[in-house]
Amino acid sequence: MFAASVQTKRFKRGQTIDGTIVAIGPEVALVNVGGKGEAVLELDELKDADGDVEFGVGDRIQATVVSTDGGLTLSRKLIRGAATNRQLEDAFRAGLPVEGKVEKEVKGGYEVTVARHRAFCPFSQIDTARTTNPADHLGRVYEFRIIEYKEGGRNLIVSRRALLEESQRAGAAEVRRSLVVGAVITGRVASVRDFGAFIDLGSGVQGLLHVSEMGWSRVQDVSKVVTPGQEITVQVLRLDEDGQKIALGLKQLTADPWSTIHADYAVGQVVTGRITRLAEFGAFVELAPGIEGLAHASTFAPSGRKDEWSKSLAVNTTGTFAIQSIDIEKKRIGVAPVTDAQETEAVREYAERQDTTPAPAFGSLADKLRGALEPREQ
């Protein structure tokens, strides 16, 4: 009795274990599950559809613990559906899954056959999301949990949703444990919003890919970058302590354009840029994807009123700008608009000095100026 007591403490109801059949009697079989104790399994559990015993002494089997009262009682046919009334009650009390077939749609839900018993599954309990077409579940065989057991098994209410949510919670915990800052993972776009997109990382765990982390260039329309259902690879940027809030990034998987800016731009260089937005203090100008400069309001031609400098400008138009300052550490570039007269004068000076060896920076400037003087699309 002491050995049996110690044995039962090692296992919990609902736990799936492996064991070896050590004896087969007229009604039950004994299964060695390790240690000195043995578990009991009804002989019917070892029979096939024709009623023949399909296992013998020495065979390994997998079964579920349905009771630990006075010893271990196992079941291996609950999931397969061939269960007795007592086994169904054990499954109800232990919260074990049972197999059932969705037979037909009835008022408020479905009629489900579980071990030759009729059970009822409400519409709300057939899935985690309500289906738009209830007929999609007809004829399907699912695992259910018995949530109500009355009248000796004649009145059964089952839920598939309970098992799905339990599995999802376990999977979600595993997903969160596996996440670390800097990890590159694959997910699927769950939904798209103006401020970004929610990415499903598995088991219902979602992270936020903010619009500012989608590209080095400013993203104006999230839907042009990602679409619902799209598979996407992202990087984990931040995690809160319990992993409930997950910040993701997409642009981090490509090179930062600022890492090579020292080779591409220099103070005094003239470049073509596109105005991306206007602010009270100046205009932001995109020089290349991910590289934006600021043309201060004071650099534009003065007008009669202080606030009228921007009235001749429009977002998405291009123009020629001279680089005034570069701060790589702060990722800032100061630019100023260049007039046609200034461009012509710079090219004239370059032509007069063509017999001399120009400095690399001036040569780059002249090339840019020459390109700037060519007709541009408006």
pLDDT digits (tens, 9 = 90+) for 308-361: 777 778 888 899 999 999 998 888 999 999 875 555 555 455 455 555 544 444
Residue that wins the pLDDT comparison between 67 and 10: 67
Residue that wins the pLDDT comparison between 310 and 219: 219
What dihedral angle (degrees, nearest 10) is formed by the CA atoms of 283, 286, 291, 292? 0
Inter-residue long-range contacts of 236-241, CB under 8 Å, 24+ positions, other chains counted: 236/179, 236/180, 236/181, 236/182, 236/183, 236/184, 236/185, 236/207, 237/181, 237/213, 238/181, 239/179, 239/180, 239/181
Domain boundary among 219, 253, 287: 253
Residue 218 scores a pLDDT above 80: yes
Residue 27 scores a pLDDT above 80: yes
Residue 86 lies in a domain: no
Give the largest Cα separation in the chain, rounded.
112
Residue 327 lies in a domain: yes
| C-alpha distances out from residue 283 to 141, 240, 322, Å | 63, 36, 14
Tokens of 183: 């990890």
Same domain membership, residue 140 and residue 121 = yes
Same domain membership, residue 264 and residue 235 = no
- Cα separation, 163 vs 118, in Å, equals 19
Whether 68 and 7 have beta carbons less than 8 Å apart is answered as: no
Of the chain, the percentage scoring pLDDT greater than 90 comes to 37
Domain boundary among 76, 101, 122: 76
**Spatial CA neighbour of 364 closest among 322, 305, 310:** 322
Question: Could you give the number of structural domains in the chain?
Answer: 4
Same domain membership, residue 272 and residue 239 = no
Same domain membership, residue 184 and residue 150 = no
Give the list of residues 6+ apart from residue 354 with CB closer than 8 angstroms, or none: none
pLDDT value of residue 339: 72
Domain boundary among 19, 47, 76: 76
Same domain membership, residue 282 and residue 369 = yes
Same domain membership, residue 292 and residue 362 = yes
pLDDT value of residue 178: 87
Average pLDDT score over residue span 358-367: 44
pLDDT value of residue 353: 55
What confidence category does residue 12 fall into, taking pLDDT thresholds of 50, 70 and 90?
A: confident
Residue 200 lies in a domain: yes
Residue tagged 């009822």 (tokens): 120
Identity of the amino acid at 188: R
Residue 88 lies in a domain: no
Tokens of 201: 């990382």
What confidence category does residue 362 fall into, taking pLDDT thresholds of 50, 70 and 90?
A: very low
Residue 55 scores a pLDDT above 70: yes
Q: What are the beta bridge partners of residue 99?
A: 143
Of the chain, the percentage scoring pLDDT greater than 70 comes to 82
Residue 374 scores a pLDDT above 50: no
Residue that wins the pLDDT comparison between 182 and 51: 182
pLDDT value of residue 68: 81
Residue 376 scores a pLDDT above 50: no
**Spatial CA neighbour of 255 closest among 246, 264, 245:** 264
Same domain membership, residue 235 and residue 274 = no
Same domain membership, residue 367 and residue 289 = yes
pLDDT value of residue 368: 47
Residue that wins the pLDDT comparison between 66 and 164: 164
Same domain membership, residue 105 and residue 56 = no
Pairing of strands 28-32, 109-114: unpaired
Residue 43 lies in a domain: yes
Residue 195 lies in a domain: yes
Residue 66 lies in a domain: yes
Same domain membership, residue 348 and residue 266 = yes
pLDDT value of residue 13: 75
Whether 176 and 182 have beta carbons less than 8 Å apart is answered as: no
Domain around 42 = 2-76
pLDDT value of residue 232: 96
pLDDT value of residue 346: 55
Q: pTM value?
A: 0.56
Residue 113 scores a pLDDT above 50: yes
What sign has the CA pseudo-torsion 53, 54, 56, 59?
Answer: negative
Residue 173 lies in a domain: no
Residue that wins the pLDDT comparison between 231 and 95: 231
pLDDT value of residue 342: 57
- Cα separation, 366 vs 347, in Å, equals 6
Residue that wins the pLDDT comparison between 294 and 67: 294
Same domain membership, residue 296 and residue 279 = yes
pLDDT value of residue 347: 47
What single-letter DSSP state applies at residue 373?
A: H
What confidence category does residue 97 fall into, taking pLDDT thresholds of 50, 70 and 90?
A: confident
Which range in 42-56, 124-138, 224-238 is most confidently predicted, on average pLDDT? Answer: 224-238
Same domain membership, residue 331 and residue 268 = yes
CATH of the domain at 216: 2.40.50.140
